[in-house]
Amino acid sequence: MAAAALTRVRRAVVARLGAVLRLDDPPWRVALALAIGVFISCTPFWGLQTLLSLAVATICRLNRAVTVTGAWLNLPWFAPLVYGFALRIGAFVVPDLHGADLAEIAELLQMSSALSASDMIVLLQNVSVALLIGTVAVGAVAGAFTYVAAFVLLKRRRAARMRHV
């Protein structure tokens, strides 16, 4: 059952990315829209990422479908890795984390079912700056990599299509 669901998700992502490759927009605009979506997908604003990507795409006059596709590339099973890495980067940049250390945070998260709402709020306040800084760094690197990869792929695909016409 899980394998079938994973196969459906993989097919949906491949179909969506295939549609991106067939767009008539210039390659730099498609790559930029995808990169902005990937950047937004790395932000800690879970639940708002699709709306954020639509808003940014509309304001910047980019393809909204491509930007949302980029935002959807950070799938839920990647999120703990992305946010864990981002928190480590943020902790490196903001070493004191307002008095919290990473070992303490890891211990609290392991017993998360025993945390009260007030404990969670305090924990989030302690790591919010580090998480925001880390997600901006991770998002910028992921967005830049996405832009370069998408741009090169789109240019090659369009050049190949022109040779066959």
Q: What is the pTM of this model?
A: 0.75
Over 60: is that where the pLDDT of 21 sits? no
pLDDT beyond 70 at 158: yes
DSSP per residue, 33-95 = HHHHHHHHHTSS-TTTHHHHHHHHHHHHT--HHHHHHHHTTS-TTTHHHHHHHHHHHHHHHST
Tokens describing residue 90: 């943020």
* Per-residue model confidence as pLDDT tens digits over 96-149: 655 556 666 666 667 666 667 787 777 777 778 888 899 999 999 999 999 999
Boundaries of domain holding 127 = 1-165
Number of domains in the chain: 1
